[in-house]
Amino acid sequence: MNTGDTCFVLFSAAMVLLMTPGLAFFYGGLGRRKNVVNNMMASFFIMGVSIVMWVLFGYSLAFGADHGGIIGGFEWSLFRGVGMGAGPYSKTIPHLAFAVFQMMFAVITPALITGAVAGRMRFKALALFVMIWMMLVYYPVAHMVWGQGGFLAKLGAVDFAGGNVVHITSGVSALVLCILLGKRSGYEQVNYRVHNIPFVVLGAALLWFGWFGFNAGSALGANGLAAHAFTTTAVSAAAAMVSWMIIDVIINKLPTLVGACTGLVVGLVAITPGAGFVPVWAALIIGLLVSPICYFTVSVVKKKLGYDDALDAFGCHGIGGIWGGIATGLFARRDINPVAQWNGLVFGDGRLFGAQLLSIAVTIVFAVVGTLICAAIVKLFIPLRVSRRDEQVGLDLSQHGERAYPSFNGLDD
């Protein structure tokens, strides 16, 4: 047991928790004025639901004794046996510290999905969907990637802080769910403008701050690997921000603050799976390339395919996570982190690259099938989508009976 490591992991857990309110501001600012309460509530309520579920059975299913490489058991339900002594995943911190650190990942992951369905999903349906999705998608994928005996871990695939577990699962599920819901009313005619840019900036700043806990904390100790992950996180985010601003200038002739914030976030997404595996110079490449990849997805692919991913959850998190997983297979080095069984493709070994591609494919299939099942179950009890009238009035009033700006009397944007 190490006091410094314990302090570091607990503080990192608090930083990761702060990311979800940050996401609430980010999504709240990006959406329409009449839906800002709903957009923020969609992220915020998950903090309560996910923590309760994690203690009841989530941690045990994700990290408990292996069953077929897919899921854990129930031996740690209600945190029984999860105490102040060291656990199986780290010898220098309390088992309880590891469990609460991972709990914060389980909080933010389903919140990422909500951006894709903003402005049209019934809140009660969303709440039920999230609870079922955690059981059918998040816990199994977390076990397959991070749990002892997990199927994808046995294949040799690596995911330092959640490229597969957090971003690909949520991004792909967001795409499937927004397609099932259909487009927002007037989607082809209405110009959906960002309603509060300062909210977007505040959210992005909180996400960047919390992400250092997200990635560096995944070293599970105050050590050199944590310092390395901290550095690659900063470098990738900064490079992606600059890259997105350059694209803005080339295409729109002006740099935008929303674009800079979006670039920052996709840079954080892309480095997440490889933060503790790739060299610092590779983080620069990963960040520089993720912005054009995501920009192309949200500006060209989305229009061509015609899906309504309202706040680009798939375009940023799904695509950014996929690129990050691929890049880890390209640039990972065993001398940085021996958890990787092989070096990346750039260094002459293709085995890790192949394992990464396979793990990404498995995660995508799991997310698609799981989301379809979750949506089908929810529809048995609650319609997924609000009525046309409720959508026009706004989800703040129709779903919560609240107004974010009660003194505002003008037309909504």
In the chain, what are the domains? 3-400 (1.10.3430.10)
Mean pLDDT value across residues 377-388: 96
The pLDDT value recorded for residue 188 is: 74
What is the pLDDT confidence band of residue 261, given thresholds at 50, 70 and 90?
very high
Q: What is the mean pLDDT of residues 112-128?
A: 97
Query: Residue 410: which pLDDT band, with cuts at 50, 70 and 90?
Result: low
Q: 305 CB contacts (<8 Å, ≥6 apart)? A: none
Confidence of residue 164 (pLDDT cuts 50, 70, 90): very high
Token duo for residue 3: 């006091």
| Angle 403-405-408 from CA coordinates, rounded to 5° | 115
Task: Determine the number of helices (DSSP H) and then strands (DSSP E) in the chain.
Answer: 18, 2
Confidence of residue 51 (pLDDT cuts 50, 70, 90): very high
Q: Is the pLDDT of residue 253 over 60?
A: yes
Looking at the predicted structure, is the pLDDT value of residue 309 above 70? yes
Alpha-carbon distance of 36 to 34, in angstroms, equals: 6
Average pLDDT over residues 207-225: 98
The pLDDT of residue 82: 96
Task: Map residue 81 onto helix, strand or coil.
Answer: coil
The yes-or-no verdict on residue 286 having pLDDT over 80 is: yes
Q: Are 202 and 36 in contact (CB under 8 A)?
A: no
Which helix (DSSP H) or strand (DSSP E) does residue 93 occupy?
Answer: strand 90-94
Nearest CA to 5 out of 147, 103, 145, 101 is that of: 101
Q: What is the pTM of this model?
A: 0.96
CA–CA gap between residue 172 and residue 36 (Å, rounded) = 24
Read off the pLDDT band of 185 (50, 70, 90). Answer: confident
**pLDDT band of 192, cuts 50, 70, 90:** confident
Exposure string over 156-184, b if 16+ CB within 10 A, otherwise e:
bbbbbbbbbbbbbbbbbbbbbbbbbbeeb
> Between residues 291 and 411, which one has the greater pLDDT?
291
Strand 86-87 to 90-94 pairing: antiparallel
How far from the centroid of its chain's Cα atoms is residue 110's Cα?
A: 7
> What integer is the mean pLDDT of 234-253?
97
Q: Which whole number is the average pLDDT over 289-317?
A: 96
Q: Sign (positive/negative) of CA torsion 246, 248, 253, 255?
A: negative
CB of 364 closer than 8 Å to CB of 370 = no
- Whether 178 and 284 have beta carbons less than 8 Å apart is answered as no
So what's the pLDDT on residue 297?
97
